[in-house]
Amino acid sequence: MIGAVSASVTKPDAGSAGRPRVLLADDHEAMLARTAEALTGECLVVGKVRDGHELLAQAERLHPDVIVLDITMPRLDGIEAARQLRRSHPDARLVFLTVHEDADYARAALDAGGLGYVVKSRLASDLLPAIRAALADRSFISPTVRLEEARPTSPDLPEKPTPKEKKL
């Protein structure tokens, strides 16, 4: 069903001791399943949601150690959800998992409070290292993202042209 919101919650089991509790947010069920599978054994996936509003509600209820979230989601995008999470749950560790390799998206995600930025094509190699880094309060950015190409987001800094703008 288009536009349907699904939220699933996993209760901790006896084998979950010491594993970080992770909440997943992505609008594609197949990506949620693939991400959960990649985390099996090292993390405990405590919930899966498909939009930003449900993410906020489940984060409030579950208090996960790490939240892995997409940028492009219905009802409330991941960057705005991250901003709201930073206000309501300042200790939450946020790792973005997205198709966007554009440095401006990465900069916006980090400015919104993300510690990690993983490109979906690198999920298998980068997601667990990003979660480990976030748990240690360090940042992780997939190496295919060239953050130095991001335009500054601070109003005090002059904007540099994007590569497309340079060609014009």
Q: What angle do the packed helices 78-88 and 52-62 form, to 10 degrees?
A: 30
Structure-derived torsion over alpha carbons of residues 47, 48, 53, 56, reported in degrees to the nearest 10: 30
Measured CA to CA, the distance from residue 153 to residue 124 in angstroms comes to 30
DSSP count for the chain of H helices, then E strands: 6, 7
Terminal CA-CA length for the chain: 43
State the alpha helices, DSSP H only, in the chain: 29-39, 52-62, 78-88, 103-111, 123-135, 163-167
Measured CA to CA, the distance from residue 46 to residue 108 in angstroms comes to 26
Q: What angle do the packed helices 123-135 and 29-39 form, to 10 degrees?
A: 70
Q: Is pLDDT at 65 greater than 60 in this prediction?
A: yes
Q: Is pLDDT at 2 greater than 80 in this prediction?
A: no
Regarding predicted confidence, which is higher, 12 or 98? 98
Can you give the pLDDT at residue 10? 45
Contact 153, 139 (CB under 8 A): no
Regarding predicted confidence, which is higher, 53 or 15? 53
Q: Is pLDDT at 17 greater than 80 in this prediction?
A: no
* Percent of the chain at pLDDT exceeding 70: 77
Q: Among 11, 42, 43, 41, which residue's Cα sits nearest to residue 24?
A: 43
Architecture of domain 17-167: 3-Layer(aba) Sandwich (3.40)
* Domain locations in the chain as residue ranges: 17-167
Q: Is pLDDT at 112 greater than 90 in this prediction?
A: yes
